[in-house]
């Protein structure tokens, strides 16, 4: 039953990407579980939000967004066994370069950059 619940948000996100509303934020790095980033987490960006989709139960992850001045503009701990998707409202954020960093409780991390115009 748990695996089926992961497919519902994934399906909705795929529809949004196909419709052209979202672009994929490329992630690099690896979480402690050892799977590649594309098998664990997907980040999509629109003009108004970031969608962070957790494709597997990985445990607790810290999701942080940092602006080009190194200031943290978003920080949240997520239990990915309970929550498969979070939406980060970026509407009203200053134009510029940002980095999203997703880290586990070990030494693993994923990171990707995006631009707000």
Chain segment 52-101, per-residue pLDDT in tens: 999 988 889 999 999 999 999 999 999 999 999 999 999 999 999 999 99
CATH of the domain at 110: 2.60.40.3080
Pairing type for strands 23-25 and 72-79 reads: unpaired
pLDDT, residue 19, reads 47
Instruction: Count the alpha carbons within 13 Å of 27 in the hemisphere toward its beta carbon.
Output: 27
Domain that holds residue 110: 2-116
Q: What is the reported pTM?
A: 0.80
Domain tally, the chain: 1
Instruction: Show the tokens assigned to 93.
Output: 């954020």
| Cβ–Cβ < 8 Å for 24, 42 | yes
DSSP 71: -
Confidence of residue 106 (pLDDT cuts 50, 70, 90): confident
Going by C-beta distance under 8 Å and a sequence separation of 6 or more, which residues neighbour residue 83?
54
Percentage, residues of the chain above pLDDT 70: 77
């Amino acid at each position: 039953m748990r695996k089926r619940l992961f497919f519902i948000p994934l399906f909705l996100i795929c529809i949004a990407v196909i419709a052209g509303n979202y672009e994929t934020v490329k992630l690099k790095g690896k979480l402690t579980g050892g799977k590649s980033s594309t098998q664990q987490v997907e980040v999509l960006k629109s003009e108004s939000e970031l969608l962070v989709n957790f494709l597997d139960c990985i445990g607790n992850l810290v999701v942080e967004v940092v602006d080009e001045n190194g200031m943290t503009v978003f920080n949240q701990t997520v239990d990915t066994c309970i929550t498969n998707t979070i939406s980060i409202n970026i509407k009203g954020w200053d134009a510029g370069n940002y980095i999203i960093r997703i880290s586990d409780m070990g030494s693993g991390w994923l990171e990707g950059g995006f631009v707000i115009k």
